[in-house]
């Protein structure tokens, strides 16, 4: 269980998170959505413990989160956070040296599924291929929680489709939870259990996908657009 209680995060005078209250249950795939600047990346960083919050609390399985929780949270940032001269194999070796839960065999299995050569240098890969390599390294960890910040950003539809298939195949929702922020809602909504919609650093809505479809008769993007406009008007 991930719990956020009145979480606030400010960068100078800018309020990135402005009183976030959330309960995210385990064993689900949860989407984080919202306009640019809504607080998606800041929320994931707060949950991952890589960015100190200004006030409030973030609890994972009842314990306050900190940088030490990198050992139990697999966090995939939007930015490329690796040495460009690494080969993919060296990236895996680095992960193995840093994370006790890294399963190199699984990482290579994901890499093979996503069709990326182990000997490729990261700097020579296209953005799409780097995205595949990063996904393989992240899913290679046997973590209870995977946090992914815009894993499909800037990638062509075929690459996004392959990565989504990889998420489905290599995530065990009997014991793992996947939380991802994305603008590509139409392409991932079939795999989402829940959606958290942010606006101006606040939770505008948190709904199950079947509730959205069943109660509103809208698809997810239509519902998001309606909620966001209503939030702006309010």
Q: What local confidence, expressed as pLDDT, does residue 82 receive? A: 74
90 close to 115: Cβ distance less than 8 angstroms: no
pLDDT tens profile 50-106: 888 999 999 998 899 877 766 779 999 887 777 778 999 999 999 999 999 999 999
For the segment 107-132, the average pLDDT, to the nearest whole number, is: 92
pLDDT average, residue stretch 172-181: 91
pLDDT for residue 17: 95
CA angle 148, 3, 200 (to 5 degrees): 65
Distance of CA 170 to the CA centre of its chain: 15
Higher pLDDT, 31 or 216: 31
Q: Crossing angle for the helix pair 157-170 and 127-139, nearest 10 degrees? A: 10
pLDDT tens by residue, 36-50: 889 999 999 999 988
Task: Judge whether residue 138 has pLDDT over 60.
Answer: yes
The residue with greater pLDDT, 214 or 145, is 145
Please name the residues in contact with 31: beta carbons below 8 A apart, sequence gap of 6 or more: 180, 181, 182, 185, 188, 189, 192, 194, 195, 196
Counting the structural domains of the chain, the total is: 1
- The band of 112, judged by pLDDT with boundaries at 50, 70 and 90, is very high
Q: How far is the C-alpha of 181 from the C-alpha of 100, rounded, in Å?
A: 26
Look at residues 175, 221, 213, 216 and name the one whose alpha carbon lies nearest to residue 197. 221
In the chain, pLDDT over 70 holds for what percent of residues? Answer: 97
**Per-residue pLDDT averaged across 111-124, rounded?**
93
CB 181 within 8 A of CB 31: yes
Mean pLDDT of all residues belonging to the chain = 89
Please determine, for residue 210, whether its predicted confidence score (pLDDT) is greater than 60.
yes
d(CA 89, CA 84): 13
Q: What's 139's domain CATH number?
A: 3.40.50.300
pLDDT value, residue 70:
66
Q: What pLDDT sits at residue 234?
A: 56
- Range of the structural domain that residue 149 is part of: 2-233
Three-state secondary-structure class, residue 149: strand
């Amino acid at each position: 269980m991930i719990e956020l209680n009145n979480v606030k995060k400010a960068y100078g005078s800018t309020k990135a998170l402005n009183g976030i209250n959330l309960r995210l249950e385990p064993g689900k795939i949860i989407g984080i959505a919202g306009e640019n600047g809504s607080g998606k990346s800041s929320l994931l960083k707060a949950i991952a413990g890589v960015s100190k919050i200004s006030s409030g609390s973030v609890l994972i399985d009842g314990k306050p989160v900190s940088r030490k929780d990198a050992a139990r949270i697999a966090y995939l940032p939007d930015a490329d956070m690796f040495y460009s001269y690494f080969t993919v194999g060296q990236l895996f070796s680095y992960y193995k040296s840093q994370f006790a839960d890294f399963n190199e065999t699984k990482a290579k299995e994901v890499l093979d599924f996503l069709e990326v050569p182990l000997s490729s240098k990261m700097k020579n890969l296209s953005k799409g291929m780097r995205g595949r390599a990063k996904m393989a390294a992240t899913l290679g960890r046997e973590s209870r929680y995977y946090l992914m910040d815009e894993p499909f950003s800037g990638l062509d539809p075929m690459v996004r489709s392959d990565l989504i298939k990889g998420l489905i195949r290599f995530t065990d929702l009997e014991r793992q939870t996947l939380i991802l922020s994305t603008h590509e809602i139409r392409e991932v909504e079939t795999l989402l259990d829940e959606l958290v919609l942010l606006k101006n650093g606040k939770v505008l809505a948190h709904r199950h996908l079947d509730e959205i479809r069943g109660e509103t008769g809208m698809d997810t993007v239509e519902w998001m657009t309606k909620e966001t406009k209503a939030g702006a008007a309010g």
